[in-house]
Amino acid sequence: MTRIGVVCEQAGETRVAATPDTVAKIIALGYEVLVEKCAGAKSASPDAQYEKAGASIVTTAQAWSADIVMKVNAPTDKEIEKLSAGTTLISLLSPALRPELLDALAKRGVTALALDAVPRISRAQSMDVLSSMANLAGYRAVIESAHEFGRLFTGQVTAAGKVAPAKVLVAGAGVAGLAAIGAASSLGAIVRATDPRPEVADQVRSIGGEYVAVEVDEKMESSDGYAKATSEAYDRRAAEVYSEQALDVDIIITTALIPGRPAPKLLTAADVASMKPGSVIVDMAAGMGGNVAGSVAGERIVTDNGVVILGYTDLAGRLPQQASQLFGTNMLNLLKLLTPAKDGQLTIDFEDVVQRAVTVVQEGSITWPPPPVQVSAAPAAAAQADRPEPKPKKSMSRGGRGVLIGMGLLALLAICTFAPAPLPQHFLVLMLSVVVGFYVIGKVHHALHTPLMSVTNAISGIVVVGAIAQLASPNLVVQILAAVGVLLASINIFGGFAVTGRMLKMFSKGGPR
């Protein structure tokens, strides 16, 4: 049986690669799981819970000697020495930025799978560790800024005076940026966001933010789901926008990162100096060089003009239990892909773009970089020439309509002439109601048809009253028809009110979506 080792992380890391919940599901795939003693202590996952899930608590040497080693961060040089030839390592490896790490792993003869190399395609979303962690980091960035900020986020009108809402600028509207926008907006702040990709504008607005466009001639569409380097023209205009916003906002959260490259500089020292005392900047890219002049990775800096710059690199790790659960779930989904037979045997298929992308070293051979996977987040414009010409609708000729109208009038005349009273009167009222109703509803916009019909269905109560009156008829056939009429009209009434009520709730705060 293939053994999987879950090892302890380096000092300062609170996450763990597998939680008791995910361990139980990994065991269901046919693996034997070995958890290093106290591996999950910092993420509220004690050894007893792992044992209850079916894992074995082992020593450091035993965990690292497993066939597959799972961990969060890339291994150190000392940890690499613990790996045996033929072992499979699964962790964050930053292959584009750390070629020396790939060389070291290749020399050990191992197979290495980089969780941060998962392509951003729909099928791989459940394995995308970067998105999971960025989502938590964006939320935590807002919490950290709120802790440092000396005021409320939301505006208030009190007996002591009016309190203006805080103004927040989020630079970069990727996963982390959108999470920050949503969190800051829910706290009541006025949130603005910038991003070179125009396709994110609607996403920003949908969660309560205001999209601040950087107007340039070029289109900055993404071909792989990640942000790409911008042009000089864009950078010049963006610098002007950031300088303008720095003078006005209270909090700036920067999230701009380009895969395989140092973080772009967005805020200069002059921009930071122009901000009001007490303002807060959270540089989420501090670990990759930083988006802000003066930020230091992992540290809290206070400038001469009283601006707090947070360069924390462990934002996701500050939510250790949730982060470990999401990380472990991403890891589990990758193992499911690599264990199609659920027999505890890890198989890597290079024909699969996801498996090919994450495999950066295979049995001592470096396989990075993989072939590019083209993914466009921007909606593709349909070619006008390829669209089929709409077929013209066939309409009835004027003569044909006249014939039908004439036949209807003749039928109405015959019923009114030969039918016994009071049937002609009732039938005439019915026909007039059908005609009037058709032209009234036909003139209503399509978007209003459902609520309109819901309300008009309630008028079926008149039918119920009439049918109830006929239930006392001595004729059995009339009684049966009256009972059926009461049943059908009642369904119409209650259904109409139910649909109307549900639609009204859709437009009320807190209603179903």
Select which of 43, 91, 94, 131 is catalytic. Answer: 131
Select which of 62, 125, 243, 490 is catalytic. Answer: 125
Select which of 91, 94, 108, 128 is catalytic. Answer: 128
- 226 part of the active site: yes
- Is the CB of residue 382 less than 8 Å from the CB of residue 127? no
Rounded to whole angstroms, how far apart are CA atoms 342 and 29?
4
Rounded to whole angstroms, how far apart are CA atoms 482 and 478?
6
| Interaxial angle between packed helices 320-338 and 20-28, expressed in degrees from 0 to 180 and rounded to the nearest 10 | 10
SS (H, E, C) 264-313: CCCECHHHHHHCCCCCEEEECCHHHCCCECCCCCCCEEECCCCCEEECCC
Rounded to whole angstroms, how far apart are CA atoms 318 and 231?
35
Rounded to whole angstroms, how far apart are CA atoms 296 and 291?
10
Select which of 3, 15, 108, 120 is catalytic. Answer: 120
- Is the CB of residue 189 less than 8 Å from the CB of residue 146? no
Rounded to whole angstroms, how far apart are CA atoms 170 and 204?
10
Rounded to whole angstroms, how far apart are CA atoms 443 and 256?
51
- 125 part of the active site: yes
- 197 part of the active site: no
DSSP tag of 375:
B
Stated length of the chain: 513
For tokens 């070293």, the residue is 361
Distances (CA, A) of 230 to 238, 253, 425: 10, 19, 77
Residue 454 DSSP SS3:
helix
Select which of 126, 186, 226, 235 is catalytic. Answer: 226
Q: Which residues are catalytic?
A: 120, 125, 128, 131, 226
